[in-house]
Amino acid sequence: MGFLDIRNVTKSYGQLEVLHRVDIAVEEGEFLVLVGPSGCGKSTLLGMIAGLEPISSGEIAIKDRVINGVHPSKRNIAMVFQSYALYPNMTVGQNITFGLEMHGVPKPEREKALLDVAKLLQIDHLTDRKPGQLSGGQRQRVAMGRALVRDPDVFLFDEPLSNLDAKLRVDMRTEIKKLHAKLKRTIVYVTHDQIEAMTLSTRIAVMNKGYIQQLGTPKEIYDTPANVFVATFMGSPAMNVVPARVVVANGVPHAEVVLGDDSKSLLAFSQPGLAAWDGREILLGIRPEAITDPEGADRKSQNIVSLKNRVIVTEPAGSDTFVTMSLGARDVIARMRADVDIAGGDDFEFAVNMEKAVAFDPKTEERIRK
Ligand SMILES: Nc1ncnc2c1ncn2[C@@H]1O[C@H](COP(=O)(O)OP(=O)(O)OP(=O)(O)O)[C@@H](O)[C@H]1O
């Protein structure tokens, strides 16, 4: 049982089921991020927690009180929207304390709460301004201030940073992370941005087509993705996923991959359960940073395999250089050191960290387990 329990929750619009049997137990103080592509159902799920969307079946409970039938204003939840939803004719101070006023909180207490929250968010010099006189980032802080001042059980964030420019988005992301570290409140946060999900969360629910594909810590999701969807959605550039064949040689499973020029290479690869796949096709997943030059290889890894292949193209990106080659008749991207000395057309000896590789069943696209 969690602090916020989502139990077997389904959502249908008419005949169309858009969320299927979602089960998540959110612990007190957790920062849970719901992430997935457009239309996967993340806003719908958040809306059901907030009480803006009726729950078709299943139940949602906070502190073990089922809230299915409870009015949004009585759920003790505060929501921060993408659009900020500030009242344009009210000052920042009035925007922040409006909810308290509605709940009959006396003026001296409201003023004290405003002062605390405005200081925390570093907007105490702006409380007399109207939203129209603020920058995007300042408006976002006011929207957060309005949520914080109410001291709710759960904070809900619906893509709060998506209206900000790239630099401000990164700054505000850090601010939100700092706030969570300080206040340790329970947060459910919706985004389609996998970097926001990785950096902010204590746990991530990766969603697709109304299903939770995987629920886990950022490290679990990144290192041991449950399926090809999760593997390729989380991480940028995406995990390379190429056809390969399992060959057990001297008792050790290997992944046999076809190189650009149609020659073949065996990569020692001892993921649990793989020996049973001897002679069969798999999908081999390798993260871009697991393919390097020999000098850049991870020294802690017990399984660095050398792979000779032709470079198709290189793309310097400042801190890294992306190098494309062909594996299994697909383009594969390696993330290399910025100063690596290679160019398109070169034959190069790559170092592949097979300790980090993942094998998927090509039919179900699920990760092969023991
Ligand atoms: N009122 C509605 N009637 C019918 N279908 C709806 C309705 N609202 C949403 N949907 C469908 O439910 C699914 C989930 O929508 P939802 O808005 O939760 O997705 P999302 O993951 O938040 O997407 P986005 O990132 O684009 O906001 C979508 O397929 C959408 O078309």
Residue 88 included in any domain: yes
Residue 365 included in any domain: no
Judge if the beta carbon of residue 44 lies within 6 A of ligand 1.
yes
Domain end (from 233, 256, 279): 233
Rounded to whole angstroms, how far apart are CA atoms 256 and 270? 13
Q: Which residues contact 234 (CB under 8 A, 6 or more apart)?
A: 35, 194, 197, 198, 204, 206, 221, 222, 225
Q: Are residues 90 and 194 in the same domain?
A: yes
Q: How far is the CA of 5 from the centre of ligand 1 (A)?
A: 22
Pairing of strands 16-26, 154-158: unpaired
Q: Which amino acid is at 195?
A: I
What does residue 81 show for φ and ψ, rounded to 5 degrees? -95, 160
Q: Are residues 248 and 129 in the same domain?
A: no
Q: Which two tokens stand for residue 370?
A: 């023991």
Judge if the beta carbon of residue 42 lies within 6 A of ligand 1.
yes
Helix (H, G, I), strand (E, B) or coil at 88: coil
Q: How far is the CA of 52 from the centre of ligand 1 (A)?
A: 13
The answer to whether residues 313 and 344 touch, using CB atoms and an 8 Å cutoff, is yes
Q: Which two tokens stand for residue 46?
A: 């958040």
Task: Indicate the number of domains in the chain.
Answer: 2
Q: Which domain holds residue 93?
A: 4-233
CATH number at residue 258: 2.40.50.140
CATH number at residue 120: 3.40.50.300
Q: Are residues 154 and 194 in the same domain?
A: yes
Strand order in the sheet with 65-66: 16-26, 4-13, 57-62, 65-66
Q: Are residues 271 and 166 in the same domain?
A: no
Residue 368 included in any domain: no
Domain end (from 173, 201, 233): 233
Residue 366 included in any domain: no
Rounded to whole angstroms, how far apart are CA atoms 97 and 95? 6
Judge if the beta carbon of residue 191 lies within 6 A of ligand 1.
no
Q: How far is the CA of 256 from the centre of ligand 1 (A)?
A: 42
Q: What is the pLDDT of residue 20?
A: 97
Mutate to test the pocket of ligand 1, among 43, 56, 188 (most ligand atoms within 8 A of CB): 43
Q: Are residues 158 and 184 in the same domain?
A: yes
Q: Are residues 184 and 279 in the same domain?
A: no
Helix (H, G, I), strand (E, B) or coil at 9: strand
Q: Are residues 97 and 229 in the same domain?
A: yes
Please report where in the chains the tokens 């505000």 appear, as a residue: 172
Q: Are residues 183 and 291 in the same domain?
A: no
Return the residue whose CA atom lies nearest to atom 1 of ligand 1.
13
Q: How far is the CA of 80 from the centre of ligand 1 (A)?
A: 19
Q: Are residues 215 and 303 in the same domain?
A: no
Classify residue 131 as left (phi > 0), alpha (psi -120 to 50) or beta.
Answer: alpha
Q: Are residues 182 and 289 in the same domain?
A: no
Residue 335 included in any domain: yes
pLDDT in tens, 185-198: 999 999 999 999 99
Q: What is the pLDDT of residue 349?
A: 95
Q: Are residues 325 and 272 in the same domain?
A: yes
Rounded to whole angstroms, how far apart are CA atoms 199 and 155? 18
Residue 367 included in any domain: no
Return the residue whose CA atom lies nearest to atom 29 of ligand 1.
39
Q: What is the pLDDT of residue 37?
A: 95
Judge if the beta carbon of residue 192 lies within 6 A of ligand 1.
yes
Domain end (from 188, 217, 233): 233
Q: Are residues 35 and 11 in the same domain?
A: yes
Helix (H) or strand (E) holding 114: helix 107-120
The CA-to-CA distance between both ends of the chain, in Å, stands at 28
pLDDT in tens, 204-244: 999 999 999 999 999 999 999 999 999 999 999 999 999 99
Q: How far is the CA of 24 from the centre of ligand 1 (A)?
A: 20
Report which of 333, 309, 293, 313 is spatially closest to residue 260, judged by C-alpha positions: 309
Rounded to whole angstroms, how far apart are CA atoms 153 and 150? 9
Judge if the beta carbon of residue 87 lies within 6 A of ligand 1.
no
The answer to whether residues 76 and 62 touch, using CB atoms and an 8 Å cutoff, is yes
Provide ipTM, 2 decimals. Answer: 0.96
Residue 57 included in any domain: yes
Rounded to whole angstroms, how far apart are CA atoms 176 and 164? 14
Question: Which residues, given as ranges, of the chain have pLDDT below 50?
Answer: none
Judge if the beta carbon of residue 38 lies within 6 A of ligand 1.
yes
Residue 216 included in any domain: yes
Q: What is the pLDDT of residue 59?
A: 97
Q: How far is the CA of 51 from the centre of ligand 1 (A)?
A: 16
Return the residue whose CA atom lies nearest to atom 16 of ligand 1.
41
Q: Which two tokens stand for residue 247?
A: 């060959």
Q: How far is the CA of 36 from the centre of ligand 1 (A)?
A: 12
Please report where in the chains the tokens 């700054």 appear, as a residue: 171
Distances (CA, A) of 166 to 192, 193, 260: 15, 12, 37
